[in-house]
């Protein structure tokens, strides 16, 4: 029966191909599972080469099992070549095959994944139970449906902003990469619930203000988690303005919308996966993240994505390394070394990422935040439910490594007016490190504070604010293993009133 159908398929295929206009896409009507794929056939350029943007036919390749779309002829060819092939579904509608592949037979996103309203409801419950520990802050609303985008602040006194270094974790710039939401949501609960009993967590929360954005791209996340379309990566913007949003492949890639080398990032073609929008910060999701970064300067942060089991740090920009290249690499390496891969045979890799329009280069270049993209898991954007706890646990080990850095070494500066003791917003510049590829770092105006990670050693430091004499430290010593505190009182300049 199946053979007859496949033979008919092959016949149809050949007539289709003959009839098809040049360049017309092959119509694949089968969802096929192939098991027992050896590692050598999963390598770059091999038959089962899964890479980020090749989602046309090979949907996933987790461990030795692939899910792919195939024509009947392609499925037969795989069988002929000795692969273990099972046809899971047959449907002329490609979306139906995608949904079956990623959601399983129920066609719904299974537990333990969460919808955004479930994440918000649980976080709200924690805010109600522990208002001193966690606060909800609306940082913006989505581009298309104006849904609120929330950040949560976890701190020893979450009701008030405090003079402590900030750390931030965000998930789901790309909405099909839902693991980020699950990791950040798990971390959020851990921080609140283990404070006071887990000494490590208690130390982090006492030492830092920790901001968590489980989902940046809330509209896209809803398209994926509601079961509508598991491929959805971009936001839900109705790009062509026809009044119908959420029709694949519409939307803007919100991880290409930041204004750092914006025109070098993604593409200006709206139908593409990496469409960067019409101008920097055209998307409300990016403006929400900018609002957050202006609310609190971050020392360190992680933007979670999937997939690849690799950490990207800023940046690979021709021959020009980032000003903090050595330290960024060191921290990325420390975090990566603690995150086991799914295969158990190693830990995450480390790589410099491109310098364009993504969150991590913008956060680093413009805001002085050491942000890292972590590509969680391997072989798909949306993992089978049984893989989820393992990937979360692995990445919580990476969080531990990152948080260990919040204890220094580095420079903790407090700048005040020498006459009035008022905290000042001042530029804090290390001229031998921070070249013109990065914006000047500054203290928070509310507290006059600034934290900056540095390797132990000697540094030249210049602190300046309009109306004040700059303070120059030509040979500042940053001590190993702790924060080096510097209390700076700026004298009003003689020309100032």
Stretch that binds Zn ion, among 30-38, 168-176, 342-350, 463-471 (CB under 5 A): 168-176
The residue whose Cβ lies closest to Zn ion is 305
> Hey, which residues between 360 and 399 contact Zn ion (CB under 5 A)?
none
The whole-angstrom separation of Cα 116 and Cα 445 is 34
Stretch that binds Zn ion, among 115-123, 132-140, 167-175, 471-479 (CB under 5 A): 167-175
The whole-angstrom separation of Cα 449 and Cα 166 is 11
Which residue blocks in 113-198 are alpha helix, DSSP H?
116-129, 179-193
What stretch of H or E contains 302?
Answer: strand 298-305
DSSP 228: S
DSSP-based three-state secondary structure for 334: helix
Residue 38: exposed, middle, or buried by beta-carbon count in 10 A (0-12, 13-18, 19+)?
exposed
Which C-beta is closer to Zn ion: that of 153 or that of 305?
Answer: 305
Distance in Å, CB of 375 to Zn ion, minimum? 7
The tokens for 266 are 């993604």
Which C-beta is closer to Zn ion: that of 71 or that of 235?
Answer: 235
Which C-beta is closer to Zn ion: that of 305 or that of 452?
Answer: 305
Which C-beta is closer to Zn ion: that of 29 or that of 217?
Answer: 217
DSSP 108: S
Question: Contact between 174 and Zn ion (CB under 5 A)?
Answer: yes
Give the other-Cβ count within 10 Å of 418's Cβ: 15
Residue 259: exposed, middle, or buried by beta-carbon count in 10 A (0-12, 13-18, 19+)?
middle
Distance in Å, CB of 275 to Zn ion, minimum? 14
Question: Contact between 256 and Zn ion (CB under 5 A)?
Answer: no
Distance in Å, CB of 184 to Zn ion, minimum? 14
End-to-end CA distance of the chain: give it in Å, rounded: 92
Which C-beta is closer to Zn ion: that of 140 or that of 220?
Answer: 220
Distance in Å, CB of 198 to Zn ion, minimum? 30
| Binding characters for Zn ion, 315-334, by CB under 5 A (x = yes) | --------------------
Which C-beta is closer to Zn ion: that of 28 or that of 381?
Answer: 381
Distance in Å, CB of 497 to Zn ion, minimum? 51
How many residues sit in the footprint of Zn ion (CB under 5 A)?
Answer: 3
C-alpha to C-alpha distances, 397 to 34, 164, 394, 478, nearest whole angstrom = 32, 23, 5, 28
Distance in Å, CB of 43 to Zn ion, minimum? 22
Using CB under 5 A, pick the residue from 133, 164, 296, 305 that binds Zn ion: 305
> Hey, which residues between 146 and 165 contact Zn ion (CB under 5 A)?
none
Stretch that binds Zn ion, among 85-93, 98-106, 150-158, 173-181 (CB under 5 A): 173-181
Distance in Å, CB of 176 to Zn ion, minimum? 8
Distance in Å, CB of 454 to Zn ion, minimum? 30
Residues 6+ apart with CB under 8 A from 321: 315, 352
Which C-beta is closer to Zn ion: that of 177 or that of 285?
Answer: 177
Distance in Å, CB of 305 to Zn ion, minimum? 3
Which C-beta is closer to Zn ion: that of 174 or that of 378?
Answer: 174
Query: Does residue 151 contact residue 137 with C-beta atoms inside 8 Å?
Result: yes
Which C-beta is closer to Zn ion: that of 155 or that of 303?
Answer: 303
> Hey, which residues between 398 and 437 contact Zn ion (CB under 5 A)?
none
Question: Contact between 100 and Zn ion (CB under 5 A)?
Answer: no
Residues 6+ apart with CB under 8 A from 372: 301, 302, 303, 311, 312, 313, 331, 332, 335, 360, 402
Stretch that binds Zn ion, among 115-123, 176-184, 192-200, 256-264 (CB under 5 A): 176-184
Which C-beta is closer to Zn ion: that of 98 or that of 450?
Answer: 98
Stretch that binds Zn ion, among 137-145, 163-171, 303-311, 359-367 (CB under 5 A): 303-311
Which C-beta is closer to Zn ion: that of 216 or that of 399?
Answer: 216
Interior CA angle at 211 toward 205 and 214, to 5°? 125
Stretch that binds Zn ion, among 131-139, 170-178, 208-216, 291-299 (CB under 5 A): 170-178
Distance in Å, CB of 174 to Zn ion, minimum? 4
Q: DSSP strand E in 17-124: where?
A: 30-35, 58-62, 65-70, 84-90
Distance in Å, CB of 466 to Zn ion, minimum? 40
Which residue blocks in 270-418 are alpha helix, DSSP H?
284-295, 325-336, 359-367, 388-404
Sheet holding 471-478, edge to edge: 441-442, 427-429, 457-464, 471-478
| Binding characters for Zn ion, 263-302, by CB under 5 A (x = yes) | ----------------------------------------
Identify the residue whose tokens are 């750390």.
167
Distance in Å, CB of 139 to Zn ion, minimum? 20
The whole-angstrom separation of Cα 296 and Cα 165 is 9
Query: Does residue 374 contact residue 334 with C-beta atoms inside 8 Å?
Result: no
Tell me which residues touch Zn ion (CB under 5 A).
174, 177, 305
């Amino acid at each position: 029966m199946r053979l007859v159908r496949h033979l008919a398929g092959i016949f149809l295929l050949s007539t289709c191909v003959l009839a098809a206009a040049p360049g017309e896409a092959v119509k694949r009507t089968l969802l096929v599972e192939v098991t027992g794929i050896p590692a050598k056939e999963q390598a770059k350029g091999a038959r089962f080469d899964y890479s980020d943007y090749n989602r046309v036919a090979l949907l996933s390749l987790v461990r030795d099992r692939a899910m792919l779309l195939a024509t009947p002829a392609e499925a037969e060819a795989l069988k002929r070549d000795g692969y273990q092939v099972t046809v899971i579904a047959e449907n002329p509608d490609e979306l139906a095959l995608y949904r079956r592949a990623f959601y399983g037979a129920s066609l719904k996103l299974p537990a333990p994944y969460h919808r955004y309203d479930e994440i918000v409801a649980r976080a709200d419950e924690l805010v109600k139970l522990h208002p001193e520990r966690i606060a909800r802050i609306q940082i913006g609303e989505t581009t298309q449906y104006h849904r609120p985008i929330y950040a949560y602040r976890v701190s020893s006194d979450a009701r008030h902003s405090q003079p402590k270094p900030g750390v931030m974790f965000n998930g789901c710039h790309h909405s099909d990469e839902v693991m980020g939401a699950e990791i950040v949501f798990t971390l959020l609960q851990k921080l609140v619930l283990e404070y006071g009993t887990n000494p490590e967590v208690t130390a982090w929360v006492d030492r830092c203000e920790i901001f968590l954005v489980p989902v940046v791209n809330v509209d896209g996340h809803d398209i994926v988690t509601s079961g509508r379309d598991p491929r959805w990566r971009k936001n839900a913007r109705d790009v062509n303005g026809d009044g119908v949003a959420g029709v694949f492949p519409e939307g803007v890639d919100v991880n290409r919308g930041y204004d750092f080398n914006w025109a070098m990032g993604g593409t200006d073609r709206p139908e593409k996966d990496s469409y960067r929008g019409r101008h920097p910060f055209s998307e409300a999701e990016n403006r929400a993240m900018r609002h957050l970064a202006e609310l609190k300067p971050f020392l360190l942060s992680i933007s979670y994505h999937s997939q690849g089991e690799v950490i990207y740090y800023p940046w690979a920009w021709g021959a020009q390394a980032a000003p903090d290249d050595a330290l960024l690499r060191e921290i990325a390496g420390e975090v990566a070394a603690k995150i086991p891969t799914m295969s158990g045979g190693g830990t995450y890799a480390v790589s410099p990422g491109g310098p364009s329009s993504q969150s991590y280069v913008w956060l680093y270049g413009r805001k002085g935040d050491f942000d890292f993209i972590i590509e969680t898991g391997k072989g798909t954007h949306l993992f089978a439910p049984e893989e989820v706890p393992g990937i979360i646990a692995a990445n919580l080990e990476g969080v531990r490594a990152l948080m260990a850095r919040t204890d220094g070494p580095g420079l903790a500066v407090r700048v005040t007016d020498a006459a009035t003791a008022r905290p000042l917003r001042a530029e804090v510049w290390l001229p031998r490190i921070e070249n013109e590829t990065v914006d000047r770092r500054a203290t928070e105006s509310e507290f006059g504070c600034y934290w900056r990670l540095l390797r132990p050693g000697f540094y030249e430091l210049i602190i300046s604010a309009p109306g004040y004499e700059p303070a120059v430290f030509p040979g500042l010593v940053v001590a190993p293993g702790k924060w080096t505190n510097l209390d700076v009182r700026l004298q009003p300049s003689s020309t100032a009133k």
